[in-house]
Amino acid sequence: MLEQARRGDEQAFSTLYARYQRSIYRYGAYMCGREAADDVVQDTFLAVLRQAGRHDAPRASLGGYLFGIARHVVIKRLAVKGDASLTEQASELDARASPEPEAFDALVRAQTIEAVRAAIHDLPTPYREAIVLCELQELPYADAAALMQVPIGTVRSRLHRARALLASTLVASATLQEG
Amino acid sequence: MVKSPFDALNASDAHMQASPHVEATLRAEVRARAARRPRRWPSTALAIAASLAVLIGASSWLLRDAGRGDLPTPQGPDAAGEPLTGFLPLDYSRSPAGPTHIVRLEVPRTALASFGLLSMDSTGSPESDTVLADVIIGDDGLARAVRFVRPAAH
């Protein structure tokens, strides 16, 4: 299907686009902001179409391949804004200790959708990516690890820390509302 | 049943999708790619080329047997008609040809479509099932190229 789309088969492109544009849009929206999500989708699919003739794609699943390209697009856009944390600062972040998330699930459910969305947006980028890929896109940890180019243990630890940070943000938010 | 604390967020995001202009831009790219693709000869064109080669080879052999060393070459404005296309390479165009000859043949009108020439009504009477073509052949009897010709007006 990918090769057919690259050769100009519109039907193949339609199938590919319909299957993946929403999840890539959502990934782009959470990682770069809603205003940039259209560009992430467009740049991702343009890159896919223009890679005709290359023989290194896709080794993994089609979805993993597309998300890999989308991630490159996201990294470029974040770098323009001075955020290189998906590539440079991740190891430093990963070394930090994190608090234990307490009653995380109940806490998240108790909050409004917008409060949770805002809390996710405020996470450091590598943690935000872990939450977006594993919790929102529901990718298996192994697939997320391959995409993020980190060991699966790092994905687990980032998720753990992300949940802890979300919990603390949401607790603070709830406290403010009560006050 | 709630499976994840993010279920409400996932449900809320269900409507999120790229704007229509993104899809329109990408479709334009797909169409442009289709238009840029080099046209590959359909199998019917190859079959016609092979038929021409056989026909011309047989003609060459018969003419040589009859004591004529050369194949007929279109001569004069009437014989030449008006070329409607340049010479289009055939399957054997990359083989060394040595001396070549041009012969004029009537070929099925479907040959036009085989070369991607779908609307050349000027090749003769639209009712005719055949069109005129000049074919370059080598001494080996293999066709190297073909061009389509409008018959001279009488």
What pLDDT tens digit does each residue of chain A (179 aa) get? 888 888 888 899 999 999 999 999 999 999 999 999 999 999 999 999 887 555 455 556 888 889 999 999 999 999 888 877 777 655 566 655 555 555 667 666 667 788 888 899 999 999 999 999 999 998 999 999 999 989 999 999 999 999 999 888 887 776 666 65
What is the pLDDT at residue B66? Answer: 44
What is the pLDDT at residue A55? Answer: 42
Concatenate the DSSP letters of all residues of B39-103 into one string: PPPPHHHHHHHHHHHHHHHHHHHHHHHTT--S-----HHHHH-EE-S-PEE-TTTTS---SEEEE
Share of chain B above pLDDT 90, in %: 8
Contacts of A38 in chain B (CB under 8 A): 18-19, 21-22
CB contact (8 A) between residue B30 and residue A29: no
Contacts of B2 in chain A (CB under 8 A): 109
Contacts of B35 in chain A (CB under 8 A): 8
Whether B69 shows a pLDDT value over 50: the answer reads no
What is the pLDDT at residue A23? Answer: 93
What is the pLDDT at residue B80? Answer: 61
Whether B42 shows a pLDDT value over 60: the answer reads no
Class assignment of domain A94-179?
A: mainly alpha
CB contact (8 A) between residue B34 and residue A135: no
Closest residue in A to B17 (Cα) is A22
Closest residue in B to A8 (Cα) is B34
Q: How confident is the model at residue B26 (pLDDT cuts 50, 70, 90)?
A: very high
Which one is the CATH code of A1-91: 1.20.20.10, 1.10.1740.10, 1.10.3720.10, 3.40.710.10? 1.10.1740.10
Say if CB B56 and CB B120 are below 8 A apart.
no
Contact status of B15 with chain A (Cβ, < 8 Å): no
What is the pLDDT at residue A18? Answer: 93
Write down the mean pLDDT value for chain B.
70
Domain boundaries, chain A: 1-91, 94-179
- Angstrom distances, CA of residue B124 to CA of A67, A82, A163, B119, B134: 56, 68, 78, 12, 14
Candidates B2, B10, B17: best to mutate against A (most CBs of A within 10 A) is B17
Whether B106 shows a pLDDT value over 50: the answer reads yes
Whether B8 shows a pLDDT value over 80: the answer reads yes
State the smallest CA–CA distance between residue A120 and chain B in angstroms.
Answer: 11
pTM tops 0.80: no
Closest residue in B to A163 (Cα) is B5
**ipTM of the modeled complex:** 0.77
What is the pLDDT at residue B82? Answer: 79
Whether B36 shows a pLDDT value over 70: the answer reads yes
Given this chain, do its domains A1-91 and A94-179 carry the same CATH topology? no
Closest residue in B to A104 (Cα) is B5
Say if CB B141 and CB B53 are below 8 A apart.
yes
